Amino acid sequence: MHIETVGGSASFTVLSPDLKTETSNSINASLNFTKPIGTVQSNIVVEGFYTKLNDVFITADANPSNGGTSVVTKRNGAGAKVSGVNLEASFAFSRTLNFQIGGTIQKSEYSEEEEIWASEDGSEIITTKNILRTPDVYGFYTFNYNPIAPLTLSLSGVYTGKMDAPHVVDIDTERTVIKRTPTFFESNIKVAYDFDIEDNCIEVYTGIQNMFNAYQDDFDIGSSRDAGYIYGPTKPQTFFIGAKYTLN
């Protein structure tokens, strides 16, 4: 049994008595290209994938119960499929400079419309064809530069595309709607310097995570908030500093 909170009250996830094991069938194909281009060592990987999910797990059918708690049932859906293309590339321009980038475009959807919430009288039914909390596009990049041996400058980023997220908007009826989230591009920077002490090393580092504060701006607040309505980068703009001691 899994427990979350909505509006300060507990929300229990129970298993359907008819719940079957979720299984999947997958097909993957990839092409790897590695070759020096002038003075640049390059590696490019293109991959296609397809996965069919049988008896896919669906967490839905939220219903209020006695004592202010609610019950959500995990049951089997008709099925689902996930397919797409992944591309990754890395380039070593020299011993001091390298760059890596990657991205995925995919489609994640149920075999048929799945019911997420329905009113007691059946007058309103919320359904979805898209698998929730799964972006259609996402990617990353990393850039490392070592101008001198002890110093490392790093830039990195993560792109998260739009996705559908469930949002409980009425704690009394557990009414759940589906919201389309915005895109996020999280950029990070880190500077590190190594101090060699005999055979050991102390790394001192500082930087900024999520430099431009790409962060969710519609968190629920108040006593009726949905604590599970969270998406996007895990941290807002964050400054950090630290040290690491390594024994060689």
Q: What is the pLDDT of residues 40-78, one digit of tens each?
A: 999 999 999 999 999 888 877 666 655 556 677 888 888
* Structural domain count, the chain: 1
Q: What is the pLDDT of residue 13?
A: 78
Cα–Cα distance list, 35 to 39, 42, 45, 94, 128 (Å): 10, 6, 12, 14, 45
Residue 200 structural domain: 2-246
pLDDT at residue 216, as a whole number: 96
- Look at residue 226 in the predicted model and tell me its pLDDT: 86
108-130: per-residue pLDDT in tens?
Answer: 999 999 888 888 888 899 999 99
* Predicted pLDDT at 3: 44
In which residue ranges of the chain is pLDDT below 70?
Answer: 1-11, 61-70
CATH assignment of the domain containing 54: 2.40.170.20
